[in-house]
Amino acid sequence: MKEGNIKISTENMFPIIKKWLYSDKDIFLREIVANGIDAITKYTKLINMGEIDRTEESFRINISVDKKSKTLTVEDNGIGMTEEEVEKYITQIAFSGASDFLEKYEKAGGEGIIGHFGLGFYSAYMVSENVEIFTKSYKNEPAVHWFSDGTATYNIENCDKSERGTKIVMHIAANEKEFLDESNIKSLIKKYCSFMPYNIYFDFKNDGKDQPLNSTDPLYVKQPKECTEEDYKKFYTDTFMDFNEPLFWVHLNMDYPFKLKGILYFPKVRNKLELERGKVKLFCNQVFIADNIKEVIPEFLMLLNGVIDCPDIPLNVSRSFLQNDSQVRKISKHITKKVADKLIALFKNDRTKFENCWEDLANFVKFGCIKENDFYEKVKDIIIYKNLEGNFKSINDYLNIPEENKEDDKKVEPVTIYYVSDELQQTRYIQLFKNEGLDAILCDNFIDPHFLSFIEYKTPDKVKFMRIDSALDGALKNGEASEDSVLTELFKKHLENEQVSFKFENLKNSEIPAIIVEDEQMRRYSEMSQIYGLGVTDAPKTLIINLNNPIVLKIKDLNEEKQKFVIEYVYLLAMSSFKKLSVQESEKFINANLILLNGYIS
């Protein structure tokens, strides 16, 4: 038996170990399994290069738990190691087994070597009291047994392992018993190893009945032309456990100037009142890295579900590196472009499907425009809104911008577009608009107030938005109203306690005695102030009294008691069409209706 000291390059080793120790320690299983995948990949490449005779054996990773001996074992039938290689790759962990292998065979090509054997191996000590290695190289040399209790010393000796490959035996620490639970280990395999390129078995028996726990040929690594619609749907359900069919998907497949494969799915939205975070899984050569890495995947795309495989992004790398890496930025831009291209193609080639999907897409597209200017510039002309008739139109449709003039701001005067934020609450205003042939767009998602302000900011000379209850369009009026001093005094007297000003207008619709309007900009400022806790009160409201309404015209002929009753009732009626009444207002409104009801019955 030989004893020695492990030669640790602390500069490379300790920052990684410390990071793992204070984050997800279960990532050790990914590292150990990935090492086994590397070992198999190396062996198959030697076969392909003719250095080893081709074999019919199937390559695999076998994982097993022994609760009695408190061990977790991962075994591969890959290239194996000699004693010299164990010394080099395990005890001198400043070296990388994968890097050394690639350097030796760089002319033959080295795709598929995943990580750094030494570093990955030592992650086992996060959950183990001690670790053993049993390994036999493909070369005609004795098998080797290596053992260390996690200190700076180790033992190495020959052993009687007869089959080629490497077995890692982890003696699980007393406070890490969860890693002896079979269901937990299977769950971790599914999380980290679902798409690794060689079969992974749990408690392999070699009787032909075992089923691998992973898929070695996931859909995203195939060419799009090889995949059917049912294939895409099944992969989505199996991967994300979402049994609602996705709306559609984008299949990413690129080899130059960088390698990128993946599928991004547009899911159905369960609640339009919030942005539901999706899950985009990032892989490196079919090895799981993490979910929703914003340095690689633009933030707005995390509303989607999907898998992305980037061999150019190493498994163990700092986020500061990703933020500053030009290649990563190119990958991010490419993904954004492909998603935008898919939406544009759907809009142009299947407008009906695009419109049917819009309710699910709207928040995603609007959020993406706000977060990513490149995305906005690509999709700005396909953003659509439903109008009062239930038809979809784009902003350009409302602005009547000819195709050839879209980019020429000087040829287009700013246009006011009215919008509805609550169809039920604003029914009275909608009816007024419809009666006069006016239109408005429906903007009832939570993101719409921000998005409308964003569009105004991006197109200040083209468009401005006004909520349907923010002002009276000229088309609703029948000329200018003449001053009525008597009515003015009556309304001033009986509404003196209400937080509202008033003015008289001649509305074309004579059935409405009054409506409330609230200045658009003041309301936006008030809403923003309340969001940020600035303590600003509600925006001032104006009661528009309709001099064309017979009830209003008769007020002067009533006695003082009835004048007060009718004026207050007209005010509450207008307020009920504008917003949800307060408790006090509701009580007054109910009492007024009871008086009217009793009078009608009697």
More confident residue, 72 or 499: 72
Of residues 356 and 126, the one with the higher pLDDT is 356
Q: How far apart are CA 191 and CA 174, in angstroms?
A: 24
383-468 and 490-515+537-601 share one fold: no
- Taking the C-alpha atoms of residue 42 and residue 79, their distance in angstroms, rounded to an integer, is 6
Distance between CA atoms of 560 and 591, rounded to whole angstroms?
19
Answer whether CATH 3.90.180.10 is correct for domain 219-357: no
Q: How far apart are CA 246 and CA 361, in angstroms?
A: 11
Measure the CA–CA gap between 454 and 373, rounded to whole angstroms: 11
- pLDDT, tens digit, for every residue of 47-82? 988 888 887 788 999 999 999 999 999 999 999 999
Element (H, E) at 74: strand 71-76
Cα–Cα distance between 506 and 481 in angstroms, integer?
5
- The single-letter code of the amino acid at 265 is Y
* Axis crossing angle, helix 97-104 with helix 27-48, rounded to the nearest 10: 20
Per domain, the residue ranges of the chain are: 2-202, 219-357, 383-468, 490-515+537-601
Taking the mean position of all CA atoms in its chain, how far away is CA 219?
Answer: 21
Higher pLDDT, 164 or 400: 164
Residue type for 88, please?
Answer: K
* 3-class DSSP assignment, residue 602: coil
Q: Does domain 2-202 have CATH number 3.30.365.10?
A: no
Does 567 have pLDDT greater than 70? yes
Read off the pLDDT of each residue in 547-568 and give the average, rounded to a whole number.
Answer: 92
Strand partners, 253: 261
Question: What pairs with residue 281 in β-bridges?
Answer: 291, 307
Distance CA 447, CA 462 (A): 21
Cα-based angle 118, 127, 309 (whole degrees, multiple of 5): 55
Task: Please state, for a pLDDT cut of 90, what percent of the chain lies above it.
Answer: 51
Q: DSSP labels for 113-139?
A: --S-HHHHHHGGGGTEEEEEEEEE-SS
Within 13 A of 193's CA, how many CA atoms are on the CB side? 30
CA dihedral 556, 560, 561, 563 (to 10 degrees): 20
> What is the predicted pLDDT for the residue at 552?
94
Residue 587 has pLDDT above 50, yes or no: yes
Average pLDDT, whole number, for the chain?
84
Tell me the pTM. 0.79
Measure Cα distances from 209 to 59, 60, 89, 204, 519 in Å: 16, 14, 36, 9, 73
Burial of 441 by CB count in 10 Å (0-12 exposed, 13-18 middle, 19+ buried)? buried
The listed CATH number (3.20.20.100, 3.10.20.600, 3.30.930.10, 3.40.50.11260) that belongs to domain 383-468: 3.40.50.11260
Q: Which residue has the higher pLDDT, 340 or 601?
A: 340
Ramachandran bin of 203, using left for φ above 0, alpha for ψ from -120 to 50, beta for the remaining angles:
left
Do 526 and 539 form a contact (C-beta atoms < 8 A)?
Answer: yes
Q: What is the largest CA-CA distance in the chain?
A: 115
| Cα–Cα distance for residue pair 37/293, rounded to 1 Å | 24
In degrees and rounded to multiples of 5, residue 270 shows phi and psi of: -80, -30
75 within 8 A of 36, measured Cβ to Cβ:
yes
360 burial level (CB within 10 Å; 0-12, 13-18, 19+): middle
Identify the sign of the CA torsion 117, 288, 39, 186. Answer: positive
Residue 11, pLDDT score: 46
Is CATH 1.20.120.790 what the domain over 490-515+537-601 is classified as, yes or no? yes
Of the two residues 448 and 294, the one the predictor is more confident about is 448
- Statement: residue 374 has pLDDT above 70: yes
Q: How confident is the model at residue 320 (pLDDT cuts 50, 70, 90)?
A: low
Helix (H) or strand (E) holding 385: strand 384-386
In this prediction, residue 595 carries a pLDDT of 85
pLDDT (0 to 100) of residue 498: 82
Where residue 167 falls among pLDDT bands split at 50, 70, 90?
very high
Question: What percentage of the chain carries pLDDT values higher than 70?
Answer: 85
**Residues 6 or more apart from 474 whose CB is under 8 A from it?**
none
pLDDT digits (tens, 9 = 90+) for 303-317: 899 999 988 776 555
Residue 246: per-residue pLDDT: 93
Q: Which residues contact 313 (CB under 8 A, 6 or more apart)?
A: 282, 284, 289, 296, 322, 328, 331
Best-predicted range by mean pLDDT (87-101, 408-422, 586-600): 586-600
Handedness of CA 371, 374, 375, 381 (dihedral sign): positive
Range 231-255 burial, b when 16+ CB lie within 10 A, else e? ebeebbeebbeeeeebbbbbbbbee
